[in-house]
Structure 1
Amino acid sequence: MKATVFTQKDVIAVQSRDVPTIGPDEVLVKSRMVGVCHSDIELLEGRYILPFSYPIVPGHEWAGEVFEVGSDVAGLSQGDHVVGECVVGPGGKDHFGFTISGAMSEYFVVKGEWLHKVPSSMSWTQAALVEPFSVAYNATFTGRVDPADRVCVIGGGPIGLMTALAAKGRGATVALYEPQAFRREKAQELGIVHTFDPSSAADLATGLALTDGDNFDVVLETAGRPAAMATALELAGHSARVVYVGIDVGGSASAQLGLIQAKSLEVRGIIGSMGLWPQTIRFLSSGIVDPTGIVSHHVGLDEASEAFGLAKAGGTTTKVHVELNA
């Protein structure tokens, strides 16, 4: 079989390996679609939030098909369509695709308890978006978004676009603040009608007009940039819920922290989506929103280096998927 391997910092190879064998509590998965995430780029560049070592097979946003089931695994059968969680192991000590090898391999082994079945009617592209969409779902779940809310999403990257879709799916009025024009255009293609450039005073005013001058009931910050995180407090209305989704490590910016008290804000930060995968799968399966339009490029496993190059370059790339066993 073939596998994409980060052999060392900034070096990608497609290697030939033996198909792995499984233990009694394990499942052999035939990989079908794997997404490339910004965290994968950081891993390739030698940076991650947990210790890791090369060589490592990346891939934590994935969808696949059960190929073989260990004798102690219940509830799964050959041919089932599955997705799998990233934070795994006792106490979440391992991150699949980071501290242990992931899914960008024609076949790979996981513990049965890490898996969730998805309907066979769900495309491989949509199923491979369950992992990132679960973060978006968690943002709206934590923010308790409902149809009465005026919601501001800050940042139009893949997570921001999916967060806007999740809020729309919950019936809210959604405004997306994103400085890059092509991302605003992508949001509109996905059905997010209200998109604004935060660097434009006129756009800021137009966005706030959606709230009749009250500012937003919910602010979901997905950019992970300190300045944007500070702006979230300014855009929030009285008694608003502010949820920090984007990750920043070590950055800083001037912020009006007194607004938290003055506006009686409820401020939360989230990491990932542990415990919300079944709800995320049901939400996507309902068809109320379809995030597959976020995927801008599909490539084959032999073009894995191209996939990471596209993702790293940015530009008009929003999400790259690597297709396996087509």
Structure 2
Amino acid sequence: MPLPFGHRVSADATRPLELARTTLHDLALCTVASPLGGPFTVDEPAEDWLLVGVLAGRLALQRDGGGAPTVLACGEARLVDGAALRGGTLDAATRLVSLTLAPSVLRRFLADALDAPVVERIAFRDEPLGRDLSALVCGLCTSWIDGAAPDGGQPGRERVGQALRQALLAALLHGTDHGYGERLAGRARPSVLPGLVKRATAHMQAHLGSAALDVEALAGAAGVSVRTLQLNFKRLHGCSPMQHLRTLRLQAVRQALLQAGDGASVAEIAARHGRPSRARRAAPSPALPAPAQRISARSGRAAPAAA
């Protein structure tokens, strides 16, 4: 069965486990209750990092190399290398929470924060999380799991989830020791994530012709909340995401007009770049000819439309 760690495991059938699983965008969360306790064995190890927190009881984890198990008592949490996890034992009346962190998710978040490629797998120090950090991340995870709507349709949950995902990853990567810790701490403005702005901008460029493109779709493409996207655009570009999108569309329309041949219509070109009715209502500006004008390929200038 899939245990909270996102692995395939074998457990004693006479000692059933009570599982509650959900997702937080690209993160997998789970709580498990073991009324009777007992051992389990990992059948299919994974390359993910696993945040494991004990909410009640005690958990002993067995990893590669044998030796004494790693014991987590109530209130403790630890980042565990999933590739090295081989099994463990749950005490009776144990309840725990886990968060599965795929290497690609961690690399992308770090690349955003550092504004630089992150190629190597992140290596966390093998030690328990501090009490405050343990309480924070375990509390956030259990609150999200316990508040999940059965049909996933709870209003506002998508936006809250984006913000919660950012908070969890930021807390873990800023609050633990790992190979990129010094570089991350040296960032002057760690709250500014140029990488997510680049992803949103690339999505804009790929969908300039979609009049339905909105800030929620841009935030989804960037993998963050709308508020986080807006703050980062404001800090990096001095404008909102939708204002930046409007600028890109105007630039694309202008370039298309310069390359257009005889009879090209401003309204038609604007419509192809996601600005249909607005282009018709807009007042003439130095950057664009009036919508009713036609482009003369010979003169390179706009000519008045026929009466």
Question: TM-score, normalization: structure 2?
Answer: 0.28
Structure number with the higher strand fraction is 1
Quick one: higher RCO (CA 8 Å, sep 6+), 1 or 2? 1
Query: Radius of gyration: which is bigger?
Result: 2
